[in-house]
Amino acid sequence: MPAEALPYQTPQPGTDTPQPLPTHSFRLNHVCIRVHDMETSLKFYRDTLGMRTIFTLNSDSYNMIYLGYPERGPNGNGREETGAEMLKGRLRRTGLLELKQVLGKENDSWRGHRGKHPYDTGFCHLGFTVDNAPSCMALIKKGGYKIIKDVGEKPSKAMFGFASETPELNEWFQEAVTPLGFVEDPDGYWVEVVPNHSDACC
């Protein structure tokens, strides 16, 4: 029998004990994804989503670029950080994205995540928070990128890779995910667009 529908659930605050003192300086600094073509990926993450280049590093075997969002003073409306300033403080930041392109014949045959469901690979998505989700989705559509689920659409079982015999998604879960957008980057990685004012989680 299908599971009984649960009431809408908002994110619940954590109840962990205080962070251990030896880990107080720890932070999740960056995530690295492999890309097939660096310029194509930069058009998505830099030109469409607005991330800025912190530094590049090229070698005979790979190219690497770090991206992030610059700070603009304590109120967010001051002078934008330069690339040199972002580079200097890169190890104290969070939310950075490393793009890595392997060079040579191996790259020619690598097809990224295209044709694979993220839940089958174990890498589900990158999440970006934005002030205006419809406007962000409009920029992505203008770039011609694949839309998995638009803002305002209810999610489907197929979207999450669930089999047809799986019970329908709970109404509270559909309600929580409806304000979110999901798109594919040039290599097939899923990117989640989350409105800043939403309490949705996925």
pLDDT tens-digit series, residues 19-44? 999 999 999 999 999 999 999 999 99
- My answer on whether 151 and 128 are in the same domain is yes
- My answer on whether 116 and 197 are in the same domain is yes
pLDDT, tens digit (0-9, with 9 covering 90-100), for 129-157: 999 999 999 999 999 999 999 999 999 88
Question: What pLDDT sits at residue 93?
Answer: 92
pTM: 0.86
CATH number of the domain enclosing 175:
3.30.720.110
Question: What pLDDT sits at residue 9?
Answer: 63
- My answer on whether 61 and 91 are in the same domain is yes
pLDDT, tens digit (0-9, with 9 covering 90-100), for 180-193: 999 999 999 999 99
Sequence-distant (6+) residues with CB within 8 A of 42 are 65, 99
Q: What is the mean pLDDT of residues 47-56?
A: 97
Question: What pLDDT sits at residue 108?
Answer: 73
22 in a structural domain: no
14 in a structural domain: no
Q: 165 falls in which pLDDT band (50, 70, 90)? A: low
Evaluate if residue 72 carries a pLDDT over 90. no
- My answer on whether 106 and 120 are in the same domain is no
As for how many domains the chain has, the answer is: 2
Question: What pLDDT sits at residue 1?
Answer: 39
Question: What pLDDT sits at residue 187?
Answer: 92
Please answer whether residues 147 and 190 qualify as being in contact, where contact means their C-beta atoms are separated by less than 8 angstroms.
no
Kindly list the distances between the CA atom of residue 31 and the CA atoms of 40, 95, 118, in Å, as whole numbers in the listed order: 19, 8, 16
Helix, strand or coil, per DSSP, at residue 191: strand
182 in a structural domain: yes
90 in a structural domain: yes
Question: Could you list the residue range(s) of the whole structural domain that residue 142 is in?
Answer: 111-202
Computed from CA positions of residues 162, 166, 151, 201, in that sequence, does the dihedral angle turn out positive or negative?
negative
Residue type, 173: F
Q: What is the mean pLDDT of residues 37-58?
A: 96
Q: What is the mean pLDDT of the chain?
A: 87
Task: Indicate the helix (H) or strand (E) that contains 66.
Answer: strand 62-68
Instruction: Say which residue, 148 or 172, is predicted with more confidence.
Output: 148
Buried-exposed string 7-31: b where 16+ CB fall within 10 A, e elsewhere: eeeeeeeeeeeeeeeeeeeeeeebe
Question: What pLDDT sits at residue 2?
Answer: 46
